[in-house]
Homo-oligomer: A and B are copies of this chain.
């Protein structure tokens, strides 16, 4: 099985690739943990060949389109940020990565930047392009929850502005590395505890600093269940994010893009606030965005 072209999502800690047909269908998938963090500049091409070498035809170049931290300053090659307002993709701004294997032709998608308030994204612009490929007239707000949640205002096919929240990373640090790790379960959930903590945090986000240690104290004093503590920690942090992001989502058409679990949590939270978000799968949007990028590259080179 040979690929017509290869779609790649290359982040800080992961590398995923899809062998695509000329008709835009996924023929094969592959993944490894060869993320940007573990690679020196000359380690990217071997890591990619390890994963997709079997999909490459001899005697011709197979186009590879990659998004994510692979295009950061510490990545394979730097694809400089494009400043918003702008379309999520621009064929001319896709940087060629240096390759020694003649079968490879690799392009890296540029991230987006915002001057004030200062902000950056790498990878999410591709998911945004994926959504716009499916809904070219979308006018509203996208929420992309994750380690670093992004909120983006979309209008007339452009990213108008965006804002990053470190909610996922804060949750992981607090749940796994802080004193709360003794009281917060590594898995498990409690819907009611989440809903209550979310509601409290949205209505009084200024009290976040006072809420965290309460989880530890309740565990010590009254046996708070670790699963409930996990749900409350998540609810408190997401609530603070939703409160600060309210100017983004209030009264807007909202789409939430992400893996089923976390996206579903945000959809539930926004719905509880009276919003009517639609949910999209993060992987599908990534592939759709890479497909749009490939089509733009083909158009640009013809």
User: Within 8 Å CB of A214, what residues of B?
Assistant: 117-119
Interface residue tally for chain A (C-beta within 8 Å): 44
A33 within 8 A of B: no
User: Within 8 Å CB of A167, what residues of B?
Assistant: 209
The answer to whether B206 touches A243, judged by C-beta atoms less than 8 angstroms apart, is yes
Tell me the minimal C-beta distance from A22 to chain B in angstroms.
Answer: 38
The answer to whether B164 touches A119, judged by C-beta atoms less than 8 angstroms apart, is no
The answer to whether A240 touches B206, judged by C-beta atoms less than 8 angstroms apart, is yes
The answer to whether B209 touches A115, judged by C-beta atoms less than 8 angstroms apart, is no
Of chain B, the residue at the smallest CB distance from A182 is B74
Tell me the minimal C-beta distance from A159 to chain B in angstroms.
Answer: 15
Counted per complex, copies of this chain come to 2
Classify the secondary structure of A's interface with B. helix
A187 within 8 A of B: no
Given contacts A118-B218, A177-B173, A220-B120, contact A165 B205 (CB under 8 A): no
A208 within 8 A of B: yes
Of chain B, the residue at the smallest CB distance from A240 is B209
Tell me the minimal C-beta distance from A279 to chain B in angstroms.
Answer: 22
A96 within 8 A of B: no
Of chain B, the residue at the smallest CB distance from A237 is B209
Given contacts A148-B213, A166-B179, contact A208 B240 (CB under 8 A): yes
Q: Which 9 A-B pairs have the closest CB atoms?
A: A205-B206, A118-B217, A164-B213, A118-B218, A173-B173, A210-B244, A209-B240, A119-B217, A165-B209
